[in-house]
Amino acid sequence: MIAKRFEDLEVYQLALALQREIFQLSKIFPKEERYSLTDQIRRSSRSVGANIAEAWHKRRYPAHFASKLTDADAECGESRHWLLTSRDCDYLSQEQFDNLTEQCLVVGAKLGHMIQNAETWQPR
């Protein structure tokens, strides 16, 4: 299927699913983390999809498109950092951490492929 909207992109759908799962799991974090770790991990995970959406609307310009996708990839990397922190604080089990990290790696790989092939995403 050829994407007609950013919502059609598999990478966007995966990023949205990751965001939802992180949100649900972060609900169990202690109250004292509400304005620190909980806020940080939710913000970074939400930024992945937001940057993909922005990139989609800049695809006419491959350099801008790649730049926004790079921002999405950076936010995905930041989310991985917060996942490590969450695991190390015993807020996530090893299994939850492994699952979420794998999802981040899949999203990152797909973003990397899109960045490397930015010209092919230009609207026709």
CA dihedral sign, ordered 63, 65, 71, 76 = negative
Q: What are the DSSP calls for 39-81, one per residue?
A: HHHHHHHHHHHHHHHHHHTTTTSHHHHHHHHHHHHHHHHHHHH
Domains of the chain: 6-121 (1.20.1440.60)
| pLDDT-based confidence at residue 2 (cuts at 50, 70, 90) | confident
Residue 99 has a pLDDT of: 98
CB 18 within 8 Å of CB 107 = yes
Over range 45-73, report the average pLDDT: 97
* pLDDT above 90 as % of the chain: 94
- Kindly tell me if the per-residue pLDDT of 60 is higher than 80: yes
| pLDDT-based confidence at residue 24 (cuts at 50, 70, 90) | very high
What are the CB-based long-range contacts (under 8 Å, 24+) for 13-16?
Answer: 14/103, 14/106, 14/107, 14/110, 15/48, 15/49, 15/52, 15/72, 15/76, 15/107, 16/49
Over range 75-101, report the average pLDDT: 98
- Kindly tell me if the per-residue pLDDT of 28 is higher than 90: yes
- The amino acid that residue 97 corresponds to is F
Greater model confidence, 58 or 1: 58
Residue 29 has a pLDDT of: 97
User: What is the reported pTM?
Assistant: 0.95
- Kindly tell me if the per-residue pLDDT of 102 is higher than 80: yes
